[in-house]
Amino acid sequence: MRVLPSGDTASLIECANGFEASALAATLQGTVELTLGARTVLVRASRSQTLAMIATFDPSEQSVPTHSESQHHIIGVRYDGPDLERVAGVVGLSSDEVIAAHTSTTLRVGFAGFAPGFAYLVGGDPRLEVPRLDVPRPRVPTGSVALASRYSGIYPRESAGGWLIIGHTSDWLWDIDRTIPARFAPGDSVTFEAI
């Protein structure tokens, strides 16, 4: 791990991988304000305070981090996305095999970002790793289920985006009128179901 200053009151901890970042965030949760990224943890603490907090952290002693209030979500998906055939061609599977691979694993919310309510889902079938679009779309519809790199995600509202769209869901993901506007939180698990 490497600790870098981030402004006057925070430190950015670079981890070896997403698992180590998630495990570290779970260990520090409740002791310091933090934000989890793909391979980083941003903590509101000085560099010396951060070094003291992580001095005894050993990623080899950590299990898969879970949040005591984590939830499991089943998301119904119409696998009718404009990039489904493209994904199949890139990964060397049929469209039906892509759908089977996407629905056969339970994913975990690794972290949130990009847009309010957008969750980066990790732990999917490694055969579905695909590159982002060379040129992002100016408009991706709300509920688009998409893949990029080793992540799955669902666009919580219409926005621009460069992920490959394999389907759509009508399930809510972001609702400002709810007490907790985001449906997903880091540590939650997600299973996709073809409808």
> What range does the domain containing 33 cover?
2-61
Whole-number percent of the chain with pLDDT over 90: 52
26-78 confidence digits (pLDDT tens): 778 777 888 888 788 888 888 888 888 888 888 766 555 454 567 999 999 99
Confidence of residue 163 (pLDDT cuts 50, 70, 90): very high
DSSP string computed for 35-90: EE-SSEEEESS-HHHHHHHHTT--GGG------TT--EEEEEEB---TTHHHHHHH
Looking at the domain assignment, is residue 66 inside a domain? no
Looking at the domain assignment, is residue 99 inside a domain? yes
Average pLDDT over every residue of 113-127? 90
CB proximity list for 110: less than 8 A, separation 6 or greater: 18, 22, 36, 38, 119, 120, 121, 122, 123, 151, 186
Average pLDDT over every residue of 155-173? 96
The domain tally of the chain equals: 2
Q: Which residue has the tokens 């990039």?
A: 83
On whether both 20 and 94 belong to a single domain, the answer is: no
For residue 179, what is the domain's CATH number? 2.40.100.10
On whether both 57 and 110 belong to a single domain, the answer is: no
pLDDT at 23 over 70: yes
On whether both 43 and 80 belong to a single domain, the answer is: no
pLDDT at 19: 75
133-152 confidence digits (pLDDT tens): 999 999 999 999 999 998 99
* Rounded Cα–Cα distance for residues 131 and 59 (Å): 29
Confidence of residue 119 (pLDDT cuts 50, 70, 90): very high
* Pair of tokens at residue 124: 């999917």
- Predicted TM-score of the model (pTM): 0.75
